[in-house]
Chains A and B, each alone.
Chain A
């Protein structure tokens, strides 16, 4: 403890100076930085995160070693949390206690993220959440060792909800997955819709995972709402969209997918998904930088990256740079550095991690292209708007995070 305190004070006093490599080696515990990618390797979310997230993390490590030539070694571990909180927390505990893991990342469902954040706090290690969506991560359950990096339900609701109301979709009906994430997405979107002058005519909650959505779609149809908001994810969303087309609901009523990833669009096909609005934190075809990185990712993974996988690379790189700059893998030191340093890479411009752990960066309002507009593989979106970070995410003034003193 005493040693750590001394190390801390030295680190603090040297914080402003570029760290000497010799010192750095001395202060990274056992000379190795270990990153644990805890993700869904086999279940519903394994396409949007999963093996792709492991690949992105390894790319970040390789690129970092090539460019920065750190004095410490870096190891990447990975495991399947099967989207279950207890499995995730057991694995995280084992990694922290036995394997000396410094940072756990990805964490695809809210339950796994919250469970691991709690253990990280207890063991004083870092958790960087890229997969999970709930705003609880940076509100009620926030802590000072966790970062929520890629997106959250607030930003998605805000982007898609507001844009669709602006386009004239004033009346809404929700088809909601009946668990915490679905409820939170429905609530966040309803608030946005009402604030923008729209109205919510009703909602129906379906069991998770669902299979046949036709009866719920029939309810949505008879509500007469202009917009049907899909507050679900993964295969539930895909099947809802497919069956809405089958029952002639689209294009008479508009669908708004509130949590969709490019892998969902890929498997649905443009013919079924065309014209839908959605919000993402990243699209591979935004500019030269995003294309260059994404093509490298594609070469290794045979699929274009989702925002989660891109965020995985960016956050890992940001973490490693903070370790190098401070010459330490101490949680408080690295967290302070990560929060102080803005993020500028292919994923984010002027990204900033706030005190509640929220990484604030621009989000993109996207519309799915018509089949005829798509010129090459994975050419799926028209970018309709760039939503500046400070508008996309919940403002700190509305935060329910106990760390934020108002």
Chain B
């Protein structure tokens, strides 16, 4: 049986690959959504921090012998700390201003970070090997699935769902959401809102660092890996609805699948299809698929 001139088996393989790419989109856009939802900052430095995550994993392994599993924990922590510094030192001065200022500041930061990495590591990048336990793969009948790719899907979904649960279903999440709605009132109730905002930014960029470590064994670790991805991820966030947690997860995975289907039908358009969808969504539902109209 054939669909679009591709066997059903081939199609299943392509869709699975779409799901894998979609889970990267989901983790990255989730971080952006959390940050935008709580801080109203459009964090353009996200791609650069994702790249830093991958580089820190590589530096850890080659210079300090820190293995993949340790990096998976340590690197997001380090990136999160860096995020906290960025928030305290730079971003907090901008909350009263238009979104555009936050966007410009983080964009500038991204250029500086990428420039520094390019200067020290060159443009061709470095290779990072998958951990021993996740090398090789399984034959699913319709395709050969590298174990590591399977792990990427599982790890991203777990992190996404945990984040969604914390923000939407726990007391801490309730404080966070309330803090965004009416910071003064929440502060009056004795909750330290500025601290919460700082930690939220740290957490959002830690997700980028986490995605960077996940990506390191798949992609060549190079200074521009984030800037290639960030535009697509922003489109995902816009389609899902700025600031919507569930929206970014579902849209990330969904668009991964759409991209995969496009690669089957007309590969040349696979880089454009997400933006075409973005345009349509903006015309029909300007707040995004899961966003709330204000």
A residues near B (Cβ < 8 Å) are 42-48, 50, 178, 204-207, 209, 211-212, 214-216, 218-219, 222, 234-235, 238-239, 242-243, 246-248, 263-264, 266-269, 271-272, 303
Contact = CB atoms under 8 A, between A and B. Distances in A.
A54 to B, nearest CB: 15
B156 interface: no
Given A211-B228, A247-B137, A242 B14 contact: no
22 contacts: A46-B118, A47-B124, A204-B267, A207-B268, A207-B271, A207-B272, A209-B228, A211-B219, A212-B21, A212-B219, A214-B17, A215-B18, A215-B263, A218-B14, A235-B222, A242-B127, A242-B220, A246-B130, A247-B137, A248-B137, A267-B122, A269-B127
Contacts of A209: 228
Contacts, number: 101
Contact of B118 (A42, A45, A247): A42
10 residue pairs, one from A and one from B, having the closest CB atoms: A207-B271, A267-B124, A215-B263, A47-B124, A238-B220, A269-B127, A47-B122, A246-B146, A46-B123, A47-B123
A26 to B, nearest CB: 44
Contact of A211 (B124, B148, B229): B229
Interface string B211-235: 0000000111010110011000000
Contact of B10 (A204, A222, A268): A222
B143 interface: yes
A264 B127 contact: no
Contacts of A204: 267
A331 to B, nearest CB: 34
Contact of B13 (A218, A268, A269): A218
Contacts of A44: 123, 224
B125 A246 contact: no
B40 interface: no
Contact of A263 (B124, B143, B220, B228): B124
Nearest to B10: A222
Given A48-B124, A272-B127, 15 more contacts: A46-B122, A204-B267, A206-B267, A206-B270, A211-B225, A215-B14, A215-B17, A216-B267, A234-B123, A235-B220, A242-B219, A246-B137, A246-B146, A246-B148, A246-B149
Contacts of A248: 137, 144, 146
Given A44-B224, A247-B137, A266 B260 contact: no
Contacts of B168: none
Q: Which of B21, B127, B149 has the most CB of A within 10 A?
A: B127
Contacts of B272: 207
Q: Which of B129, B224, B264, B267 has the most CB of A within 10 A?
A: B267
Contacts of B260: 215
Contacts of A246: 130, 137, 146, 148-149, 218
Nearest to A207: B271
A238 B228 contact: no
Interface in B104-141: 115, 118, 122-127, 129-130, 137
A203 to B, nearest CB: 10
Contacts of B228: 209, 211
A239 B14 contact: no
Interface string B2-36: 00000100100110011011000000000000000
B151 to A, nearest CB: 12
Contacts of B124: 47-48, 234-235, 238, 263-264, 266-267
Nearest to A206: B267
A235 B118 contact: no
A267 B263 contact: no
Contacts of A247: 137, 144, 146
Given A214-B17, A235-B222, A267 B125 contact: yes
Nearest to B272: A207
Contacts of A243: 218
A211 B260 CA distance: 13
B114 to A, nearest CB: 9
A48 to B, nearest CB: 8
B278 to A, nearest CB: 16
Contacts of A216: 263, 267
A266 B126 CA distance: 9
Contacts of B222: 235, 267
Given A207-B270, A215-B263, A267 B218 contact: no
A47 B118 CA distance: 10
Contacts of B115: 42
A48 B123 CA distance: 9
A239 B222 CA distance: 11
A109 to B, nearest CB: 14
A238 B125 contact: yes
Nearest to A245: B146
Contacts of A266: 124
Contacts of A43: 123
Nearest to A264: B124
A47 B220 CA distance: 15
Contacts of B271: 207
Contacts of B21: 212
Contacts of A211: 219, 225, 228-229
A212 B268 contact: no
Contacts of B129: 271
A43 B21 CA distance: 25
A264 B122 CA distance: 11
